[in-house]
Structure 1
């Protein structure tokens, strides 16, 4: 056997020489093995101990002790499994180290990738519909929405006017297989969604909606959305007219989204089932 192959699995020159020598013999004493393998007598016991740890060599309890090679077919399989386990443990420890380093760099819990979108003073024609459609089509798995109490009927004319657009957008998400969970304070969104769902004649589609869309009622001062457990959406309020939003901030940070998801789950448990 080529010693270079054994080197690839971690055996050094002396270890390879001793193992290959033993494979040709039934068993040997350490002194004779040293001579046959050309490994110095001062190194032979250290080499044999390493091979024993690899389970490539067995010790025969005789006087003097004799050593024999373990059948390569079984020995090398055991060695592979052990190295595989060691590698997985090393990778696990490496990941933990990377995670710890990342926490050290970002221990202020601030988001790392932020994008701000400002709304126009007035939406024209299908501008709002196009904007919502463009953003919603990027959602892959789930959206969790918390709607502020200020959006109860009459609280915001702009929101009331956009209800139909958002209702249809949420329904479109469900039809694509996206899970939708909404916490609503009792806004116009509720009757709008119910009207849309009641108008559906396809019973299988209605069952699909029931499985993927859930709406609960809760009056809260929180106002945020979470997309696919990795993007957080926050409204930018007009400080001179709190019923109006200037735009929206998208935060692309999974650890940040996780914090909001924890808050969402807490609020969700308090909500009263609507749909």
Structure 2
């Protein structure tokens, strides 16, 4: 059986037996569970349950009778059904997340301990998705200024990810400065919503309101990205001077 096809089906969540059963039916006439078991080399005792599972996922249709027969749903139709089910699941999960957040806020009192103005706090963020989520939050909550120092490839990613959020910050009166490499290909686009300074540098730094600094390691592997989130007005002011 084609290994590449099996790998593609695995990427959408089908297990090995489900993938083998579906591909066997795509290439054959309607078949019984026993026949599919033989063609697809799957355990006979599990064949019926595997086919029932594929039916619920919209990949095969069931022909009632004695014996029951199964046939593959056309690929376009099967994947259209899968997309619909996935969208429904995602929408339900998002609604549940909102309900959980609302319920938690109702049960847990806001607690913000008093801090000395110059007290330092450092947190570590791992994985680019978590880092980008924090940057999104910092941009959305900035009141005075934002400074971004970044490489050119990273600048493109930031424009793709945050352009609308940065434009909204600019409308609020936030001063946005981006420091890009001297030969930046994306500086012109960034200049539509920020003051852009081009000069040689190797920094990946984000500063919000001269108070919070997010320092990113220079790793291109998004899963290995690490960010040090530092809440320190003193540190933020000095970082601005250094870059």
Q: TM-score range by the shorter chain?
A: 0.3 to 0.5
Larger radius of gyration: 1
**What TM-score results when the alignment is normalised by the length of structure 1?**
0.38
Give the TM-score of the pair, scaled to structure 2. 0.43
